[in-house]
Chains A and B, each alone.
Chain A
């Protein structure tokens, strides 16, 4: 069972109250962009056994999108933060470093 705290309403929402939104922090490449960038934006996704950053929507609640840092292997949650964040806040990075020293994920570390 996965429980994520919605950063907007503070509710500790069960996985069944949430809608998954796939990988977080995707950079959009639209029409006119380099073909490889466009392919990466459309199809290339991380699929780690371990630390991952994801989008979730509090569907059976306040309805807001938020982002979560968690471990796909242990379901350990390092933190959740607003969807408007271009990168994980320092507090989230620190929480991950405390448990997974030397971590990296795409461009973040």
Chain B
């Protein structure tokens, strides 16, 4: 079979959890200052120039940035929010980032998650927190046939093996 879906650990990725009142001026301005991006709609991700913002819940976003910049981003966010109630945590080393790329990458994910990841429903910029097999994971679509998975670092081996097995088993051709 010539069709192959590639699964690989993308190594160090800066990730900072930011929580607070996402409708507040200070929160929006602080996110903008850190990423030059606006806060995306719910279940969406915006990415540009090696940075990204993900909508995680009604009061939480995840900032993606170079690993070396994560600690400074926490301090910058805290300074920008001042006395306003917020939380900023560098979770870079608690999480793993995995790429799933290839012609039937959507099916590699669909075999492992109850989420609807059909390309007609889950396209570029769409983001979904769900589970892969037995572990919590977040997935998003970068481009058709190109997906990213975030999971806890403690279950990264399981997730990599799970995705690899799903890829090796080949396409189901339901999509």
Contact = CB atoms under 8 A, between A and B. Distances in A.
A56 B114 CA distance: 17
A60 B58 contact: no
Nearest to A1: B114
Interface stretch (A8-16, A33-41, A44-52, A95-103): A8-16
Q: Tell me if B's interface is mostly helix, strand, loop or mixed.
A: strand
B130 A17 contact: yes
Q: Tell me if A's interface is mostly helix, strand, loop or mixed.
A: loop
A60 B152 CA distance: 13
A8 B56 CA distance: 11
The contact size tier of chain B is 10 to 19
B129 A62 contact: yes
B57 A14 contact: no
A8 B57 CA distance: 8
Contact of B43 (A11, A14, A60, A63): A11
Contacts of A60: 129-131, 136
Contacts of B56: 62
Interface in B88-136: 114-116, 128-131, 136
The contact size tier of chain A is 10 to 19
B114 A16 contact: yes
A61 interface: yes
A64 B43 contact: no
B57 A64 contact: yes
Contacts of A11: 43, 115, 128-129
Interface in A1-43: 8-14, 16-17
B57 A9 contact: yes
A10 B42 contact: yes
Contact of B116 (A9, A12, A62): A12
A60 B135 CA distance: 9
A62 B129 CA distance: 7
A14 B114 contact: yes
Contacts of A12: 116
A9 B60 CA distance: 11
B150 to A, nearest CB: 13
A71 to B, nearest CB: 21
B130 A8 contact: no
Given A17-B130, A60-B129, A63-B57, A9 B43 contact: yes
A13 B131 CA distance: 11
Contacts of B128: 11
20 contacts: A8-B58, A9-B43, A11-B43, A13-B114, A14-B114, A16-B114, A16-B131, A17-B131, A60-B129, A60-B131, A61-B57, A61-B129, A61-B130, A62-B56, A62-B58, A62-B60, A62-B129, A63-B57, A64-B57, A64-B58
